[in-house]
Each structure stands twice: as C-alpha cells, then as structure tokens.
Amino acid sequence: MSISGPWQRTAVGAGLLKADGVIRPTIFAEMSALASATGAINLGQGFPDEDGPADVLEAARRAISDGLNQYPPGLGMPVLREAIAEHQRRFYGVKLDPDRQVLVTAGATEALASVILAFVDDGDEVVTLEPFYDAYGGLIALSRGEHRTVPLRLPDFQPDHDDLRAAVTDRTKLIVINNPHNPTGTVLPRETLELIVELAHEHDALIVTDEVYEHLTFDEPHIPVATLPGAWQRTITISSGGKTFNTTGWKVGWITARHSLITAIVAVKQFLTYVNAAPFQPAIALGLGLPDEYFTGIASDLRNKRDVLSAGLAKAGFDVFESHASYFVVADAAPLGFRDATELCRQLPELAGVVGVPISAFCHDELAAEYSSLVRFAFCKRVDVLELAAKQLSRLGR
C-alpha cells in the first residue's frame, strides 16, 4: 500500500521531503540531538534554561491541586481571556471583548495552524517575510496555499517596500508577519507596518501577525500592527505565554481579532486540539497581570544576554548583526572562512562545543544560497553559559 496525503505537501513545504522520498528531521531536531549527543552548549533551539516567575509556576501547581484538570471551555478559560483582553488594553490601548474577540490556543503554533487552515484555500497566496519561522512553510503547504516571500535585506534585515508592493496582489489571502522577528531579531518600523495595512486594504487581504516576542524588544516598545489606523478590522494577532514567562513547554497561546474572524478560526481549532492546558491557563492569566517591572525586567535581562553573546561572537571573528528583539542573534561565519553554515553547524560541537542553527533552515533555496554563511544563535540562556560559549567559540579564529 502506498501512503500519501497532505503530509507530503507539508513536508515538501517545510523543506523536509526531497526527491529521494526520505523525510529529514528538522534542522532544529538534528542540532538538538547533536547537542545532547556531544554535550555541546545548545544555542540552537530557542528555549530558556531558567524557570520563569515563581508565582506563575505556583499558580499552575495550585490549579492542579484544586482539580482544574479537565477540559476547559472551547474558547479558553474566562480568567485567561479576561487577562489577555486586559493585557492588550494595558500595554497597547486595545479594548477587546473577552467573550467574543479572544481565543486561547495550544501555543502560537496552533493559532497559526487554525488561522491558515481557516482562511487559505487551494492556490490562495500567502505572503511572509523570509527568513521565516519554519512552521509557516509547512502550514501553508498543508492548506494547499502558495507561499510567496519578501526577503529581509542585509544589513538590518528589513524588507524593501517595493518588494512588499510586488509580493502582495489580488491573489493574496493572508499577509503573515512575524514582529519582532525570529530568526533575525529585527523589528518592523511603523512605516513598514503602515504599508502592510495599506496593501491589505488595496488587495483585500487579512494580516496575520505573530507577536510571540512582543515583550522582548531592546530599543523601542513593541507596536502591534492591529493598533495602526485601519488595521483592526483585517488583523489577526497571535501571541503566546511561552517566551514571556519562560514556559515554552506549556503551549498556552492566543488569538485576538474581530468576532467574525474568531468564529471562522474556532471552526477549525475545535477539530485540532479542541482545548488544552487547563491548569496552565490560570497561571498564564496571573502572569499577564504581573507588574510593569516584570515585563521591563525580562527585556533588560535579555538585552544584557544579547550583549554578552554578541560581544563573544564578534571577538571570535564572526560578523554580528545587531539583534533588536527576540531570543536570537545572527552572525556571519564567512570572515572565519566558513561559507557553508550548515556544514559549520554540524562541526561546531566538535570545534567549539556549541550548537547553532544555519539561517538557510528558515529560507527557500534562493535566499538560502545568499545567506549560506549565516548562523542563528539563541541567547536565552544563563549568562555563565553564554560566557562559556563565547570563550569556546573564540577557539574558532585560532
């Protein structure tokens, strides 16, 4: 019996299935396996190595003891939906109805999956920035959409406005942005967000904005595209508690949008996970209500970590691109004589006891070739770990 189906499309779209029919593990899985096999410092996958706020962890323990262990409501627990609405009001001045305009999901990943599956039909075009978070490619392929991309240009990884204008057409169903951006740590300026809103109107497209790093910006405060004039009606905003509260394993995410969009998304989401993470929902609700100092504190802590790793990479001989947000910094290995970052990443555990991820893993072939010597390193690790990584990387230049 031959086995086929949407998995093939998804695997091809995610760049994992090649002509030989063999599915490769994602580069993240490969690099994490390499890190555990060699004991190298894992700066490949973006997960913190320290726990988040004690109150948030305690709230989850309490919820389990209190018996919050069964299916929560389909839209998410009221306490969390109210906390999400209050968070959007407090930080961005957006007023939401928690019963009609907020949906809790199994991480930002399920939010992305249900939005893309809800709105993309065969042949619809979906525009994303490139490099792009790997799930975008797989999900667009799963929904039989056509993936068009707008390259982020060196040295600051910003999209060219003419490229954006050319990519968005009347065939575009969704413009998916990721701001702040993984893997580059770039932040889209207001003018670019305004252009995206203008293009969405002109071509009757929806904007999907993945803002999981909203609290991890190092220069300017985050601007949600939904707050721009004319944006709200056609914007679906996605976020998640994982990065903000160091709880990436809890997979508590959410969507905010106007009611009719939420309804369409729920129609799909109910058949994906239906619901998830009952005891973690009140804990994330508590986290969202923490005082302002918590949120400014995580950004300044991470800015310091960025500085430690960026300085270490520069000292080791990499060309380092400044990261303005997120967990990640991009570094060019070409000055060290390494043109192929994928090969370098495979050798890096042996050469320096460190794991990174090649930027090509976030690109289609053309940009992958252009960015072949770039590596993404995660700095969401303890300072002593980053210092050790920096010291070990300094071996490379010798």
Ligand X SMILES: Cc1ncc(COP(=O)(O)O)c(C=O)c1O
User: Residue numbers of the site for ligand X (CB under 6 A)?
Assistant: 46, 107-109, 133, 178, 182, 210, 212, 240, 242, 248, 251, 253
Q: Nearer to ligand X by C-beta: 108 or 386?
A: 108
CB of 151 to ligand X, least distance (A): 17
CB of 237 to ligand X, least distance (A): 12
Question: Distances from the Cα of 295 to the Cαs of 218, 222, 289, 299, 358, in angstroms?
Answer: 12, 12, 10, 7, 30
CB of 294 to ligand X, least distance (A): 19
CB of 39 to ligand X, least distance (A): 24
151 membership: H or E segment, kind and range? strand 146-153
Q: How many residues does the chain have?
A: 398
Q: Are 301 and 218 in contact (CB under 8 A)?
A: no
E strands within 186-321?
206-210, 235-240, 252-256, 319-321
Q: Are 107 and 251 in contact (CB under 8 A)?
A: yes
CB of 251 to ligand X, least distance (A): 6
Q: Nearer to ligand X by C-beta: 251 or 306?
A: 251
Q: Nearer to ligand X by C-beta: 173 or 243?
A: 243
CB of 1 to ligand X, least distance (A): 34
Q: Nearer to ligand X by C-beta: 52 or 353?
A: 52
Q: Nearer to ligand X by C-beta: 104 or 206?
A: 104
Q: Token pair of 143, please?
A: 């929904």
- Peptide bond connecting 189 to the previous residue in cis, omega within 30 degrees of 0: no
Q: Nearer to ligand X by C-beta: 248 or 392?
A: 248
CB of 181 to ligand X, least distance (A): 7
Question: Distances from the Cα of 92 to the Cαs of 263, 285, 305, in angstroms?
Answer: 24, 17, 26
Phi, psi angle pair for 237, to nearest 5°: -105, 130
Q: Are 174 and 211 in contact (CB under 8 A)?
A: no
Q: Nearer to ligand X by C-beta: 46 or 349?
A: 46
Residue with the shortest CB distance to ligand X: 107
DSSP 8-state assignment for residue 71: P
Q: Token pair of 380, please?
A: 């969401």
